[in-house]
């Protein structure tokens, strides 16, 4: 690494030292690094901290995220320390149910459960260990990037090794800022944040129970009490979290102190029941960056968007960013698809994440209401007809997909033998195709590199045949991020679909077409 760093300036007209530099090694950055190295990209990671942050932060991810972790190779590692969440209930000050957000407990369309509770340090350690085992990434902890100089063919990255107090530089084709809400990379892009108008202070408290407390329940509860809104959620094993809204009139000197916290939690637990592991005062923001890319600089995760926690989608949005961006970077760097593909990253992801943030803001309006008249109207309306809430399933915004099904997340069947579709195809494009066309599609891929690029999956199993029938098509192209790129009804459309993916088909006659 030292030679690459010290010599990169004099070799500025030659090949950059790295394909991708990632600034920030939290869940988004670590997931992105794993997916890029799966595609053989040479990656460098810079992280200002010296180790995984050992205390809880994010506590929830969904089945789509678990599918990404499956691709990264850590799903089975995570499973023993996950708790399947049954959902969330919103109750008013009288304990009356207003919103019922029940999650199905079994395996869902993504091949995993709909809701998982986790301990963030466990996830980060698993991602880092997997990256280390796979290789292909140089990780530099206690290194802080302070300057980015974009050139025609690369970015010159200047940074400080804060452990040694030394300055150095290196080069990469692209830089991705996964460096949080105060992102350095976002500043260099020069993007501004669009404000979705929800900024409230809450105290987040994580506790470790000393024994069984079945009475606390497995459901998350939003206590929509205008005197003091509070959230309760269960984590894996003995972990529990309470989020306590800061109210007008609170003594600023006492907020977040142990005495203040125990006073707010007395309804549920006392110091004899649990140990306080962590407390922190947060302002729950709702913002979206207006510009996720400038040339060779990009941002992801909290650097690109921040959401109130009321849907449990903050970290999940960053994992989706990494999944969307990784294959696009790899395809552009490998020359399979043009650089303009990277413009579809923001155009696809921004409307998707906006749906979740706006929904979280709306739910926050229910939870955080304190005006007496508004609360009375809310209670009358919502208790008269209990709302059954369902998790949104937004499509991607405009981008690299086509047709009525393009931009929808594709399902992941779990087959009778327990295997999952994604494990069979790997981290690449997959063409689910009826058996009659499958051999034609295979014969049309004349280059070995193209056969490696796209997995041809004949719809020999019932679940795959049913999928094609539901899509009204003979073939469905799944992108590496498992969103649908498009569908085909005959060999001509199938060839066009593959051509968009950078795969040339030999012209031929196909009797099955």
Give residue-wise pLDDT tens across range 167-201: 999 999 999 999 999 999 999 999 999 998 888 99
Beta bridge partners of 312: none
Query: Does 434 map to a domain?
Result: yes
If you average pLDDT over residues 62-82, what whole number do you get?
A: 98
Range of weakest confidence among 154-163, 165-174, 190-199, 482-491 = 190-199
At 443 the pLDDT is 80
Tens digit of pLDDT for each residue in 21-68?
999 999 999 999 999 999 999 999 999 999 988 778 899 999 999 999
Total number of domains in the chain: 2
Beta bridge partners of 202: 245, 282
3-state SS class at 453? helix
b/e string for 250-274 if b means 16 or more Cβ within 10 A?
A: beeeebbeeebbeebbeebbeeeeb
Question: Is 509's pLDDT higher than 80?
Answer: no
CA dist 171 to 8, 22, 174, 343, 344, Å?
Answer: 6, 12, 9, 22, 24
Do 28 and 318 form a contact (C-beta atoms < 8 A)?
A: yes
Question: Is 329's pLDDT higher than 70?
Answer: yes
What are the structure tokens assigned to 219, written together?
A: 């459901």
Whichever domain contains 476, its CATH number is 3.40.30.120
Final residue of a structural domain among 366, 381, 402: 366
Q: 328 and 187, same structural domain?
A: yes
Query: Does 236 map to a domain?
Result: no
Angle at 103 between CA 313 and CA 72, to 5 degrees: 50
Q: 434 and 331, same structural domain?
A: no
Q: How far apart are CA 134 and CA 484, in angstroms?
A: 28
pLDDT bin (cut points 50, 70, 90) of residue 510 is: low
**By residue range, what is the domain housing residue 440?**
421-500
Q: How far apart are CA 354 and CA 428, in angstroms?
A: 27
Q: 445 and 351, same structural domain?
A: no
From 325, 317, 322, select the one nearest 352 (Cα to Cα). Answer: 317
Mean pLDDT rounded to a whole number for the chain: 93
Q: 182 and 330, same structural domain?
A: yes
Whichever domain contains 26, its CATH number is 3.50.50.60
If you average pLDDT over residues 110-137, what whole number do you get?
A: 97
Q: 129 and 21, same structural domain?
A: yes
Q: Please state the separation of Cα 500 from the chain's center in Å.
A: 26
pTM for the whole thing? Answer: 0.95
CA dist 162 to 143, 283, 340, Å?
Answer: 6, 29, 36
Query: Does 91 map to a domain?
Result: no
Question: Is 500's pLDDT higher than 90?
Answer: no
Query: Does 218 map to a domain?
Result: no
CB atoms within 10 A of CB 99: 18
Question: Is 506's pLDDT higher than 70?
Answer: no
Q: 455 and 317, same structural domain?
A: no
Query: Does 392 map to a domain?
Result: no
Question: Is 507's pLDDT higher than 70?
Answer: no
- Per DSSP, the residues of 457-477 read EE--SHHHHHHHHHHTSSEEE
What are the structure tokens assigned to 285, written together?
A: 């923001």
If you average pLDDT over residues 214-241, what whole number do you get?
A: 97
Query: Does 475 map to a domain?
Result: yes
At 9 the pLDDT is 46
Q: 49, exposed or middle or buried, with CB in 10 Å at 0-12, 13-18, 19+?
A: middle
Q: 342 and 453, same structural domain?
A: no
pLDDT bin (cut points 50, 70, 90) of residue 7 is: very low
pLDDT bin (cut points 50, 70, 90) of residue 508 is: low
Q: 141 and 9, same structural domain?
A: yes
488 phi, psi to nearest 5 deg: -135, 150
User: How does strand 297-299 pair with strand 83-84?
Assistant: unpaired
- Between 446 and 395, residue with greater pLDDT: 395
If you average pLDDT over residues 209-220, what whole number do you get?
A: 96
At 2 the pLDDT is 44
At 485 the pLDDT is 97
Query: Does 109 map to a domain?
Result: no
pLDDT bin (cut points 50, 70, 90) of residue 12 is: very low
pLDDT bin (cut points 50, 70, 90) of residue 220 is: very high
Question: What is the percent of the chain where pLDDT is above 90?
Answer: 85
At 203 the pLDDT is 96
- Per DSSP, the residues of 70-138 read HHHT-HHHHGGG-EE--EEEEEETT--EEEEEEPP-S--TTSS-SEEE--HHHHHHHHHHHHHHH--EE
Question: Is 3's pLDDT higher than 60?
Answer: no
At 11 the pLDDT is 44
- Per DSSP, the residues of 235-269 read -STTEEEEEEE--TT--TTTTTSHHHHHHHHTTT-
* DSSP strands (E only) in 130-285: 137-141, 143-150, 155-161, 166-177, 193-195, 200-209, 220-224, 230-234, 239-245, 274-284
Question: Is 444's pLDDT higher than 70?
Answer: yes
């Amino acid at each position: 690494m030292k030679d690459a760093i010290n010599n990169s300036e004099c070799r500025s007209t030659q090949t950059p030292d790295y394909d991708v530099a990632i600034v920030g090694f939290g869940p988004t950055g670590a997931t992105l690094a794993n997916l890029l190295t799966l595609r053989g990209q040479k990656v460098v990671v810079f992280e200002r901290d010296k180790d995984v942050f050992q205390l809880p932060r994010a506590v929830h991810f969904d089945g789509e995220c678990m599918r990404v972790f499956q691709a990264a190779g850590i799903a089975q590692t995570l499973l023993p320390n996950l708790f399947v969440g049954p959902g969330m209930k919103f109750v008013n000050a009288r304990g009356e149910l207003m919103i019922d957000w029940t999650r199905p407990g079994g395996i869902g369309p993504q091949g995993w459960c709909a809701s998982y509770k986790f301990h963030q340090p466990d996830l980060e350690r698993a991602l880092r260990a997997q990256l280390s085992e796979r290789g292909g990434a140089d990780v530099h902890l206690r290194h802080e990037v302070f300057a980015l100089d974009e050139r025609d063919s690369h970015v010159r990255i200047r940074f400080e090794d804060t452990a040694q107090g030394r300055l150095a530089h290196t080069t990469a084709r692209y830089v991705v800022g996964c460096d949080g809400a105060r992102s350095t990379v976002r500043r260099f892009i020069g993007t501004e944040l669009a404000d979705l108008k929800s900024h409230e202070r809450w105290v987040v408290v994580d506790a470790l129970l000393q024994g069984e407390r079945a009475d606390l329940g497995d459901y998350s509860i939003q206590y929509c009490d205008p005197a003091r809104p509070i959230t309760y959620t269960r984590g894996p094993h003995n972990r529990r979290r309470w989020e306590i809204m800061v109210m007008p009139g609170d003594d600023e000197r006492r907020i977040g102190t142990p005495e203040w916290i125990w006073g707010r939690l007395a309804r549920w637990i006392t110091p004899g029941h649990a140990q306080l592991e962590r407390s922190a005062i947060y302002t729950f923001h709702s913002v979206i960056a207006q510009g996720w890319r400038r040339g060779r600089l990009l941002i992801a995760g909290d650097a690109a968007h921040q959401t109130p926690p009321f849907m449990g989608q903050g970290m999940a949005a960053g994992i989706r960013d990494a999944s969307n961006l990784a294959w696009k970077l790899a395809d552009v760097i490998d020359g399979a698809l043009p650089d303009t593909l990277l413009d579809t990253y923001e155009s696809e992801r921004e409307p998707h994440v906006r749906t979740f943030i706006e929904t979280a803001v709306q739910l926050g309006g229910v939870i955080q209401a304190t005006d007496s008249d508004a609360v009375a109207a809310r209670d009358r309306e919502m208790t008269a007809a209990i709302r059954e809430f369902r998790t949104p399933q937004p499509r991607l915004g405009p981008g690299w997909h086509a047709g009525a099904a393009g931009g929808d997340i594709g399902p992941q069947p779990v087959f009778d033998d327990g295997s999952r579709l994604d494990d069979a195809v790997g981290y690449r494009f997959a063409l689910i195709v009826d058996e009659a066309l499958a051999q034609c599609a295979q014969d049309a891929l004349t280059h070995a590199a193209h056969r490696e690029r796209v997995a041809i999956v004949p719809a020999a199993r019932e679940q795959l045949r049913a999928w094609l029938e539901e899509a009204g098509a003979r073939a469905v192209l799944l992108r590496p991020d498992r969103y649908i790129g498009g569908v085909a009804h005959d060999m001509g459309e199938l060839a066009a679909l593959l051509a968009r993916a950078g795969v040339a088909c030999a012209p031929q006659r196909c009797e099955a077409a």
